[in-house]
Amino acid sequence: MFRTIVLGVALLGVAGAPLANAHITLENQQAPVGASYKAVLRVPHGCEGSATVAVRVRMPDGFIEVKPMPKPGWKLDVVRGKYQKPMSMRGTKVNEGVTQVDWSGGNLPDAYYDEFVLTGYISDEAQAGQTMYFPVVQECEKGVNRWIEIPAGDAAHTDDHGEPAAALKLLPKR
């Protein structure tokens, strides 16, 4: 009986571990190339008990024509710039657009969950079977979480050490 209780408590501890390491993810983690995509970034917690006050997301190469959704109580800033190479959207070449979106000035307590939303288009040049990564920096009243790590096998790898970036698996065109 005691052994069963100890085993149950140990398994409960292991089952609960991912919650402590939960990170910012995309609600829909697959999308077809050459189509519109609504990126819903899920923020499950703050920084070790501290409230989230800013969320900054860098757009991956090939995610173009980005439009963020404003959030009541948050300031929205959009950084525009040239793409690394021209992209196409339904046959039209696009050379520049939104490269980063910042929501700041809000207050998301650690005990609550929220979502940050933007839409865009997965360029015609994107490759099915590849993964797009959305690096996110989450700033809190005390501390920062960097959800920016991209696996070494991907061309967009970062040398910064952080937690896994939100990942989107690219599917074939419809």
pLDDT digits (tens, 9 = 90+) for 152-165: 765 444 445 578 99
108-120 average pLDDT score: 97
> In angstroms, what is the C-alpha Rg of the chain?
18
98-102 average pLDDT score: 98
Q: Say how far residue 124 (Cα) sits from the centre of its chain.
A: 21
**Helix boundaries (H) for 62-166:** none
Q: What single-letter amino acid sits at 159?
A: D
Residue 11, SS3? helix
Statement: residue 14 has pLDDT above 90: no
Q: What letter does residue 12 receive in the DSSP assignment?
A: H
17-24 average pLDDT score: 55
> In the numeric block, which tokens belong to residue 132?
């797009």
Q: Measured in Å, how far apart are the chain's first and last C-alpha atoms?
A: 56
Statement: residue 60 has pLDDT above 90: yes
Q: What is the pLDDT of residues 80-96, one digit of tens each?
A: 999 999 999 988 999 99
129-138 average pLDDT score: 97
